[in-house]
Structure 1
Amino acid sequence: MKIVIAPDSFKGSLSAEAFCNVVGREAAEIFESAEIVKLPVSDGGEGMVDSLLAVTGGEKITAEVKGPLFEKTEAQYGILEGGTAVIEMAAASGLPLVPEGKRNPLETTTYGTGELMRDALKRGCREIILGIGGSATTDGGIGAAAALGARFLDKEGYAVPLSGKGLEKIATIDFSAVDRHWQETKITIACDVVNPLCGPLGSAAIYGPQKGADAEMICLLDMGLNHFEGLIARQKGQEYRELPGIGAAGGLALPFVAFMGAELRPGLEIVLDVLKFDRHLQGADFVVTGEGRTDEQSAMGKVLCGVSGRAAAQGIPVVALSGALEKGYEPLYGKGLTAAFSTWKSGEGLEWQMDHAEENLSNAARNLFRLVEAFSQRG
């Protein structure tokens, strides 16, 4: 028997790697001779670096960079076996790095994210996967691009502030000083939203409030992004503002797509491809997946959806063990999921469930494998 274990994390209580170990242990108890493949998965946001390093091998790098408020901070990224760098922008430019009382996307920068990219290039990486979830910024990516050598000047020829407030001041965009090695470097940006850059569904309007923006700030940021994209469109001869996902993370991807050939792709698809997921599925009898809470969002490109779809394409059953099953998860059945079970213990509250997540998962997995064993013995 071959069992593939491919979960997301139970956020706040159990990592995807820990899920694999718990479920794998229970599977080995019941099916002693089974081939058990552990593939911790991420949708390209939090945990992407750890998930990929756990499966592919490699090393974690620590670098001193500028944080969202230009303060010195340390951030980590991964270099996989084979030399691909995996960077989560949240490590250098994430919202949790900004104290709640100081959150203001007019003032925050992605410069530190660019410094991580620059560090990876110096170490010889010629392929970079950049996850852009959880940002504190709406600077249109000018901070990150400036860290690589790009210049953004006002009409007087002076450098603009490398934050959201600098966008409307830009008169000249100059990438001539960017290291030539970027021309031979593949940049893939992991993005799981489809927001345009500007307007009512754009970066500032949708994500600005959670970053500390009030109505006036949102208006200024939206105008700044609109102005910046207009300059790029005239310089490059094409528009980018409606490109699906270009509004993610405060427009971070915009200069990289326009000037450096970066590609926006769904984060989950990137992760599954790096993990060689389809190859690992070959010959599997079934797949076990799971996440902390399975609900209507799970069917919209999240881990359970992607894992189930790829397994179903090979005719392989998929069972989910999730912390909680909430209203609206049923569309997953139409996307390849065979069955879903909750690990929630009746009579206990959320805090208890999170504290006992490993125990609850272990019990659920044991019952699942006992059931599979009983049916397999019947032939």
Structure 2
Amino acid sequence: MPASSHRAPVVVIAPDSFKGSLSAQEVAAAIGAGIKRAIPDAEVRLCPIADGGEGTLDALMHAGGERLTVTCRNAAGEPFMAPVGILNNGSAVVESAAIVGLTDAAGTALPVDERTTLGVGDAILSLLDRGARHFLVALGGSSTNDGGAGLLAALGVKFLDAAGEPVPPVPAQLQRIARVDASLLDPRVKQAQFVAMSDVDNPLCGEEGATAVFGPQKGVQPEQVPVIDRALAHFARVLEAALGHQAATRPGAGAAGGLGYALLMLGAQFRSGAETVADHIGLDQALAGADWLITGEGRSDAQTLHGKAPFIASQRARRAGVPTTLLSGGIDRKSLEKLQTSFSGCFSIAFGPMSLQEAIAQAPDLLKDSGEQLARLWHASADQ
């Protein structure tokens, strides 16, 4: 039920980022500012959230910790400085999208079969040097499809051809691997625990595998799909023979172009990205005694209901008896019937026709205005 007019309402704001525009923190702050314009005495609890893709590091760091930059390699193998974090509980956070992401022009300048996850391994090594032994690795938004060979190479695993020469850890070369030498794997890796944050349950190879399902969005051409898929399958056979255990068919192995597979081979546990973030930021505690939850993302459609951050937030709000409003950059009208099963109302921040560039430029003000108008409507109904 809406808050009584005899006390200040408690509003929880838990959006994902508007990717390419605003971070989850900025989205939450803008909506919160709009709420306060309409209801000055409202208690606004900001809980930016993410689902394991771009913005996951920012969402986790909102609850406190140390933000760092480390030297690592992008998807093209070129050195640059990437953000990582160490949370207050000592867990280290590595966001794949911040290292080998789809939005990195330098990394994606190379064809997808030449890209590598070396940089993700570099980031893990840097954090191991700082004493981290528990890692949260966010897998969404990667531009790579190397089966995690780059990550393993950065951690010390050697890939050799029939002549004993090193094989570069990129998809175009994986078929050449004849032997894997894991004797130089950094010993600290065996002492570490890895949580892979992803909602993907695909295997590494096959019709539902990394290349066939996710490769096209990274630039894999139709004729390349079987070629790269065979290369990953070959890589997995040689690697698993060397390490003595299997993971290629396990759920999540196909996450992030097979980066999930490499982490599984290191003993990683898979967890929902949104659930992990929600736990860490204390979303359930924020919902305790709340009257209203507002969540959202850049664009919402039927896929939102498949473990995306707004859906997870709405499920937790439902368990707490708190109604949820979805406020996103855009809403797929064809998905409204499905979306409204999880949200009390679904709204776009656009007040009229505008280009994407205009929407991005005006996003903070659009969010404030939308938050204010929703709050006026909601508060008016509470006073009835």
Question: What is the TM-score of this pair, normalised by structure 1?
Answer: 0.91
**What is the match of residue 17 of structure 1?**
25
**What is the match of residue 132 of structure 1?**
139
- % identical equivalent positions: 38
Structure 1 position 36 matched with structure 2 position 5: no
Partner secondary structure for residue 208 of structure 1: helix
Q: 2:250 aligned to 243, 247, 252, which one?
A: 243
Per-residue deviation, residues 351-376 of structure 1 (Å, max 9, x unmatched): 33332222222222112222232233
Which amino acid is the alignment partner of residue 313 of structure 2? Answer: V
Q: 1:87 aligned to 85, 94, 100, which one?
A: 94
Work out which structure has the larger RCO, using CA pairs closer than 8 Å and 6 or more positions apart in sequence.
Answer: 2
Partner secondary structure for residue 252 of structure 1: helix
- How many residues matched? 375
**What is the match of residue 119 of structure 1?**
126
Q: 1:279 aligned to 274, 277, 285, which one?
A: 285
**What is the match of residue 76 of structure 1?**
83
CA distance in 1, matches of 2:294, 2:187: 45
How far residue 215 of structure 1 moved from its aligned partner, in angstroms, is: 4.3
Unaligned runs of 5+ residues in structure 2 are: 1-8
Which amino acid is the alignment partner of residue 248 of structure 2? Answer: R
| Shift in alpha-carbon separation, 1:289–1:198, aligned structure 2, 3 A | same
CA distance in 2, matches of 1:100, 1:141: 16
Which amino acid is the alignment partner of residue 322 of structure 1? Answer: S
Q: Is the 8 A contact 2:76 2:106 kept in 1?
A: no
| Shift in alpha-carbon separation, 1:61–1:322, aligned structure 2, 3 A | same
- Deviates further, 207-216 or 73-82: 207-216
Which amino acid is the alignment partner of residue 47 of structure 1? Answer: G
Unaligned runs of 5+ residues in structure 1 are: none
| Shift in alpha-carbon separation, 1:217–1:17, aligned structure 2, 3 A | same
Q: Is the 8 A contact 1:321 1:343 kept in 2?
A: yes
CA distance in 2, matches of 1:205, 1:22: 39
Question: What is the TM-score of this pair, normalised by structure 2?
Answer: 0.89
Q: Is the 8 A contact 1:83 1:124 kept in 2?
A: no
Q: Is the 8 A contact 1:140 1:167 kept in 2?
A: no
Structure 1 position 153 matched with structure 2 position 163: no
**What is the match of residue 321 of structure 1?**
327
Instruction: Please give the residue correspondences for 1:1-379 in structure 2 after superposition, counting only pairs within 5 Å.
Output: 1-54=9-62, 56-99=63-106, 102-235=109-242, 239-258=246-265, 260-326=266-332, 327-335=334-342, 337-378=343-384
Q: Is the 8 A contact 1:345 1:353 kept in 2?
A: no
Partner secondary structure for residue 345 of structure 1: coil
| Shift in alpha-carbon separation, 1:30–1:135, aligned structure 2, 3 A | closer
Which amino acid is the alignment partner of residue 127 of structure 1? Answer: H
Q: Is the 8 A contact 2:292 2:323 kept in 1?
A: yes
| Shift in alpha-carbon separation, 1:163–1:101, aligned structure 2, 3 A | closer
How far residue 232 of structure 1 moved from its aligned partner, in angstroms, is: 4.0
Which amino acid is the alignment partner of residue 134 of structure 2? Answer: E
Superposed structure 1 runs of 4+ greater than 6 Å apart: none
CA distance in 1, matches of 2:171, 2:325: 44
CA distance in 2, matches of 1:236, 1:100: 30
